Amino acid sequence: MPYRAGVVPPRAGAFQVRRVTFPVLGAVGRATGASTAVRVLSGLGGVGKTQLAIDHAERLWGAGKIDLLVWITAASRDAVVSEYARVAADLTGLDEPDSEVGARRLLEWLARTRSNWLVVLDDVCRPGDIDGLWPPPNPTGKVLVTTRRQDAALRGHDRQVVEVGVFTPEEAGMYLRSALVDQPQLLDHVDDLAKDLGYLPLALAQAAAYMLDRDLTCSAYEARWAARRRLAALLPDNEALPDGHRVTVAATWALSIEQANHLEPAGLAEPLLQAAAQMDANGIPIDIFASAAVTRWLSHTTGRSVTTDDTRDALNCLRRLSLVTLDPAEPHRAVRVHALVQRATRDNMPEDLHRTVTRTVAEALLEVWPAIEGDSVLSQVLRANTEALHHAAGVHLWHDGGHQVLFRAGQSLGNGGLVVQARDWYLRLHDAAARHLGPRHRAVFNARHNYATWRGEAGDPIGALAQFRALLADQGHVLGTDDPDTLVTRHNIAALLAENGGLHDAVREFETLLTDQARLLGPDHPDTLGTRGNLASWRGEAGEPHRAVAALRGVLRAKVRILGPDHLDTLATRSSLARWRREAGDPQGAVADLEAVLAGRQRVLGPDHPSTLATRGTLARWRTTTGSTPGDAVVELEQLLSEHIRALGPDHPYTLTARHNLAVWRGTAGDIAGAVADLTTVLADDTRVLGVDHPDTLLTRANLAHWRGRAGDVAEAVADLEAVLSERNRVLGPQHPDTLITRSNLVLLRSRLS
């Protein structure tokens, strides 16, 4: 401390202190007596809410009245959660890959700190986005929210809603005089121009920039303004704009765009703004505009070769006209465009151009999206831009089927641990695809498939299985039983069957599927190899470990030949082979294979990747069968837990698993009391972080019951395991392997009790 988190935009060059609003801001808290002074600035887009928030924050900071200033562009819940998590990591030193957990950590920190803080949530689009994310009560805290909304959900709880209007006539005149102070000869008819512009701060700023660049007097600008108002084709749809954003505002932007497009490099500013108008107003990665997709489109549009330097210069042309803001210090959100500028730009685009631009932006997003997502902030920004593109594009991303970037965004959500959001995203994609393409289109089936996948991952495997079965029937009728997508659905059904107790039925389905895939796709197709590997593993689960080993060796040879030894799928197969070699009675070979997997994952993913750390933990446990003692495993697992906490944070699911495994091995090494104590604390954290129904939480409860029984408290252990059995029956079903194991263990415990 003091510490500033987030990038506070600069004050406007001719910022005007609002004589009505700012004293109200300063008085909030004293008037309400709130434990945390919470202010909500609500009003029309373009009235200057963000500028008021900037000025208020900088005044408090400059006066030394706050130790922590957090500025977040709150365009979506995902954006708030991700930024909260990043700030929590900066304040605590604990980098949490699970953004939801990191966000909760920041709220807890704000609740207990004695430091003076201000949190600004700028541009909240939907009140529900910050439900449960309002900073907590603390006498040392202040909260400032800006939003266009005036919903009742923003009121109450000691929040003061301040309705921000346009400039007063005096403020508007003062603004223009300040903006044009270096060119006093332009200051004729100031008050008339301010009135024509409706005293809207955004419109006044655009007009002043235009006049300065063109050396126009206020009266000359007013004449052009009046003439342009007759061009109805340049105006946005009045029904889609808030009150007060009149057609003359759109006309101002049209004139500014025209001027920017004439600056060198000529002809690039307007198409770049058209591209930016399809994305997230609150931050676009600078690399989008340097992508091959964009430069190729610009070259085709202008008839000359366009370089990345050209696109950067053209962005600066837009910046000069205040059509965009550029922040090189934050490359993931370097380009920002006001949403009303975006809307006016889109409304002026012919449909064929709009279609071309949206497809170009979609290709650019795919181009800059990393194959392995190691930067959570970049991932969030790319998802936000894809969501904005989907909203702006309408039908244009559904020509020839849904564009791949829509599905890439959903995969990013799921792979980032946001499985509920991934499920909901694919449900929305399904609705859009069905609306634009009809219910029998392949893209609709793809959205249904992904929805079922993430529904299962979000904790509803039974519902997911039903979804996949319904999808399989429809795919069979429309695509045919031999279509590759139909085969993938069969694979997922078999996997869900196996995971939920239908092991023998699943093995039969995998065998039939493998025959069909080899015939239709070929023996070396990745889907065929994947089914071979899964079939081998499930045969092992069915009691044939030696057969699993033999089959997996064949799969591994094929993947090494086709994919290479360090491909992630190859490493996963080698890991499965190691597991079944161990089950088949070859612990030395299993450890050797797993050591090779660890080396490969360290090369490909890095030493701190969750998969690398998990492999180390498994290796430590397995080595107890090749000469190491349980005590040796405890020492190694203690070190590994420290690295989990450093790399992933204390609440990451992998860290909780590492703590769980360490506790179990303490008991195995003879420290039964330590195992019980550790598992008790792990259970509390599992419940807090993962929820009471999560399989890991239920596993911790089961193991805690086991070690309580070993400690001599058999009656309590029986009661605990009975409760676990009841929950597993409810959540997983009576035939799930975990449920069956619990029932068997309960019989043993009851026999000890009797």
DSSP string, 578-638: HHHHHHTT-HHHHHHHHHHHHHHHHHHT-TTSHHHHHHHHHHHHHGGGTT--HHHHHHHHH
- The pLDDT score that the predictor gives to residue 494 is 95
- The pLDDT score that the predictor gives to residue 253 is 58
Q: What is the mean pLDDT of residues 700-711?
A: 96
Distances (CA, A) of 678 to 408, 476, 689, 699: 40, 51, 16, 14
- The pLDDT score that the predictor gives to residue 226 is 62
8 A C-beta contact, residue 591 and residue 623 = yes
pTM of the model: 0.64
Amino acid letter for position 155: R
8 A C-beta contact, residue 384 and residue 79 = yes
Q: What is the mean pLDDT of residues 409-430?
A: 86
The residue with tokens 């209007």 is 165
At 104-156, the pLDDT tens digits run 999 999 999 999 999 999 988 788 899 999 999 999 999 999 987 767 788 78
Q: What is the mean pLDDT of residues 328-338?
A: 87
- The pLDDT score that the predictor gives to residue 239 is 39
At 219-247, the pLDDT tens digits run 888 777 565 443 232 222 333 322 233 33
Task: Give dist(CA 194, CA 674) in Å, integer.
Answer: 75
Least reliable range by pLDDT among 203-212, 674-683, 723-732: 203-212
- Looking only at the bridges linking them, the beta strands covering 37-43 and 159-164 are parallel
pLDDT at 94 over 60: yes
- The pLDDT score that the predictor gives to residue 34 is 44
Q: Exposed/middle/buried for 131, CB within 10 Å: 0-12, 13-18, 19+?
A: exposed
Q: What is the mean pLDDT of residues 257-261?
A: 79
- DSSP state string for 210-263: HHHHHT--HHHHHHHHHHHTT-GGGSPPGGGS-TT--HHHHHHHHHHHHHHHHS
Distances (CA, A) of 364 to 285, 349, 361, 403: 11, 20, 5, 12
Task: Give dist(CA 396, CA 414) in Å, integer.
Answer: 25
Nearest to 622 by CA among 580, 672, 659, 657: 580
pLDDT at 750 over 60: yes
Q: What is the mean pLDDT of residues 195-222?
A: 80
- 671-754 is a CATH 1.25.40.10 domain: yes
**Strand pairing partners for 69?**
4, 118
The DSSP symbol for 94 reads: -
- The pLDDT score that the predictor gives to residue 236 is 27
pLDDT at 97 over 70: yes
Q: How many residues does the chain have?
A: 754
Please state, as a whole number, how many other Cβ atoms lie within 10 Å of the Cβ of residue 264.
Answer: 11
Higher pLDDT pick, 344 / 70:
70
SS3 at position 57 = helix
Under CATH, which architecture does the 3-164 domain have? 3-Layer(aba) Sandwich (3.40)
At 166-183, the pLDDT tens digits run 788 889 898 898 888 888
- Residue 695's pLDDT band (boundaries 50, 70, 90)? confident
- The pLDDT score that the predictor gives to residue 414 is 82
- The pLDDT score that the predictor gives to residue 227 is 54
Average of per-residue pLDDT values in the chain: 87
pLDDT at 533 over 90: yes
- The pLDDT score that the predictor gives to residue 238 is 39
Quick one: tokens of 34?
């709130």
At 512-525, the pLDDT tens digits run 999 999 999 999 99
SS3 at position 330 = coil
Q: What is the mean pLDDT of residues 623-647?
A: 93
Burial annotation 209-246 (CB, 10 A radius, 16+ → b, else e): bbbeeeebbbeebbebbeebbeeeebbbeeeebeebbb
Amino acid letter for position 606: G
At 392-413, the pLDDT tens digits run 998 999 988 899 999 999 998 8
**Sign, Cα dihedral of 447, 80, 417, 725:** negative
The DSSP symbol for 11 reads: P
The residue with tokens 């600035």 is 41
- Residue 322's pLDDT band (boundaries 50, 70, 90)? low
pLDDT at 529 over 70: yes
Helix axes 568-583, 587-604, angle to 10 degrees: 160
- The pLDDT score that the predictor gives to residue 154 is 82
SS3 at position 146 = strand
Phi, psi of 612 (to 5 degrees): -65, -45
SS3 at position 49 = helix
At 566-609, the pLDDT tens digits run 999 999 999 999 999 999 999 999 999 999 999 999 998 888 87
Whether the upstream peptide bond of residue 136 has omega within 30° of 0, thus cis, is no
- Residue 255's pLDDT band (boundaries 50, 70, 90)? low
Max avg pLDDT among 479-483, 503-507, 645-649 = 479-483
pLDDT at 653 over 90: no
- The pLDDT score that the predictor gives to residue 244 is 30
**Sign, Cα dihedral of 382, 385, 387, 390:** negative
pLDDT at 26 over 70: no
8 A C-beta contact, residue 497 and residue 461 = no
Above pLDDT 90, what percent of the chain?
A: 59
Phi, psi of 143 (to 5 degrees): -130, 135
Amino acid letter for position 734: P
Above pLDDT 70, what percent of the chain?
A: 91
Phi, psi of 350 (to 5 degrees): -60, 155
pLDDT at 363 over 50: yes
